Amino acid sequence: MNIDIKHIAKLARLRIEDGELEKFKNDMQGIVEMVENLPSDIKDEPLLDPENSMKLREDKVRENKYSRDELTKNAPHVTAGCLVVPKTVE
């Protein structure tokens, strides 16, 4: 199978430089061939697992124990308590 690495990388928001393209393409080709080893006789059935249902939390607001400062302190660019990104509209 011919994998369009540039297209996949674009979907994943990764940039593969031209010099690396061949290497990634070869690696991916090999990996995809490996994962193609799946049975052909498998029948389609619902994938829900009733035995392992999750215990969902109540839809109730709980007091937040973190301050805005604590939560934004790891962000690369913060101004006036807001996360700053490049301009997206002209």
Under the rule (CB under 8 A), what is the footprint of other proteins?
Answer: 3, 5, 8-9, 11-16, 24, 27-28, 30-32, 34-39, 42-45, 47, 52, 54-57, 66, 70-71, 73-77, 83, 85-88
Query: Could you say which DSSP state residue 52 is in?
Result: G
Least Å distance between CB 41 and other proteins?
Answer: 10
Coil vs helix vs strand at 28:
helix
Least Å distance between CB 63 and other proteins?
Answer: 14
Residue 49 CB-density burial (10 A; 0-12 exposed, 13-18 middle, 19+ buried): exposed
